[in-house]
Structure 1
Amino acid sequence: EAIVRARAGGGPTLRDCKTYRTRAHAEGMGDFTYRTREEVAAWKEKCPIARLRRSLVSLPAVEPEPACTVEDIDNEVAAMIQDARAFAESSPVPSAETATDHVYSQNPAVASGDRPGSAIESPAATDRILTFAAATLEALDEAMAADPAIFVMGEGIGVRGGNFTTTLGLYAKYGAERLCDTPICERGFVGLACGAAMTGTRPVVDFMFIDFINDAFGEIVNQIAKMQYMSSGRLRMPLLLRGCGGVGHSAATHHSGLYHSIYAHIPGLRVVVPSNPFDARGLMAYALRCDDPVLFLEHRELMQTKGPVPQEHYQLPFGRARVVRSGTDVTVVALSLMVQHASLAAEQLSAAGISVELIDPRTVSPLDLETILQSVARTGRLLIVDEAFGPCGFASEIAAQVVDAGFDDLDGPIKRLHGAFAPTPYAPSLERRVVPQVSDIVRAVQDLMRE
Structure 2
Amino acid sequence: MSGTDPTPSADAVTDGGERPLTISRAMVEAIGDEMRADEDVFYMGEDVADYGGIFDSTQGLLDEFGHDRIVDVPISETAYLGAAVGAAQAGMRPIAELMFVDFFGVAMDQIYNQMAKNTYMSGGNVSVPMVLTAAVGGTYNDAAQHSQTLYGTFAHLPGMKVVVPSTAYDAKGLMHNAIRDEDPVVYLFHKRLMGIGWMPAPDGPKTHVPETDYTIPFGSADVKREGSDVTVVTLGLHVHRALEAAESLANEGIDAEVIDLRTLVPLDIETVRESVSRTGRLVVVDEDYRSFGLTGEVIAGVAEEGLEDLAAVERVALPDVPIPYARPMENEVIPDVEDVETAIRSAAGER
The two structures have a TM-score, normalised by structure 2, of: 0.93
- 1:401 matched to 2:286: no
Q: CA deviation at 1:179?
A: 1.1
- What are the Cα deviations for residues 262-314 of structure 1, in whole angstroms up to 9, with x where unaligned? 11011110000111111011100110100110111111110104221122211
- What are the Cα deviations for residues 159-192 of structure 1, in whole angstroms up to 9, with x where unaligned? 2111111111211211111111110000111111
Task: Summarize the alignment of residues 284-433 of structure 1 with structure 2, pairs less than 5 Å apart.
Answer: 284-304=175-195, 305=201, 306-412=206-312, 414-433=313-332
- What are the Cα deviations for residues 420-443 of structure 1, in whole angstroms up to 9, with x where unaligned? 211111111111100111011111
Confirm or deny: 8 A CA contact 1:248 1:300 kept in the other structure: no
Larger radius of gyration: 1
**Aligned match of 1:99:** none
- What are the Cα deviations for residues 69-119 of structure 1, in whole angstroms up to 9, with x where unaligned? xxxxxxxxxxxxxxxxxxxxxxxxxxxxxxxxxxxxxxxxxxxxxxx2113
- 1:224 matched to 2:115: yes
**SS at the partner of 2:99?**
strand
- What are the Cα deviations for residues 127-174 of structure 1, in whole angstroms up to 9, with x where unaligned? 311111001000001100101001111011112111111111211211
Q: Which of 1 and 2 has higher RCO (CA within 8 Å, sep 6+)? A: 2
**Aligned match of 1:101:** none
**Aligned match of 2:4:** 119
The residue type paired with residue 3 of structure 2 is S
The two structures have a TM-score, normalised by structure 1, of: 0.73
**How many residue pairs align between the two structures?**
335
Q: What root-mean-square deviation, in Å, do the aligned CA atoms of Structure 1 and Structure 2 show?
A: 1.1
Counterpart pick for 1:243 among 102, 122, 134? 134
Counterpart pick for 2:59 among 168, 173, 181? 168
**Aligned match of 2:198:** none
The residue type paired with residue 338 of structure 2 is S
Confirm or deny: 8 A CA contact 1:121 1:322 kept in the other structure: no
**SS at the partner of 1:119?**
coil
Confirm or deny: 8 A CA contact 2:119 2:125 kept in the other structure: yes
Alpha-carbon separation, structure 2, partners of 1:274 and 1:121: 15
Counterpart pick for 1:178 among 54, 57, 69? 69
- What are the Cα deviations for residues 335-387 of structure 1, in whole angstroms up to 9, with x where unaligned? 10010000000001101000101100100010001000000001000000001
Task: Summarize the alignment of residues 188-267 of structure 1 with structure 2, pairs less than 5 Å apart.
Answer: 188-267=79-158
Task: Summarize the alignment of residues 428-443 of structure 1 with structure 2, pairs less than 5 Å apart.
Answer: 428-443=327-342
Q: Percent identity?
A: 43
Alpha-carbon separation, structure 2, partners of 1:399 and 1:378: 16
Gaps of 5+ in 2: 196-200
Counterpart pick for 1:141 among 32, 46, 49? 32
**Change in 2 beyond 3 A, CA 1:126/1:201:** farther
Q: CA deviation at 1:213?
A: 2.1
Which one has the bigger strand percentage?
2
**Aligned match of 1:35:** none
Alpha-carbon separation, structure 2, partners of 1:427 and 1:308: 36
Alpha-carbon separation, structure 2, partners of 1:345 and 1:284: 28
**SS at the partner of 1:296?**
strand
Alpha-carbon separation, structure 2, partners of 1:330 and 1:163: 38
Gaps of 5+ in 1: 1-115
**Aligned match of 1:33:** none
**SS at the partner of 2:104?**
helix
**SS at the partner of 1:288?**
helix
The residue type paired with residue 391 of structure 1 is S
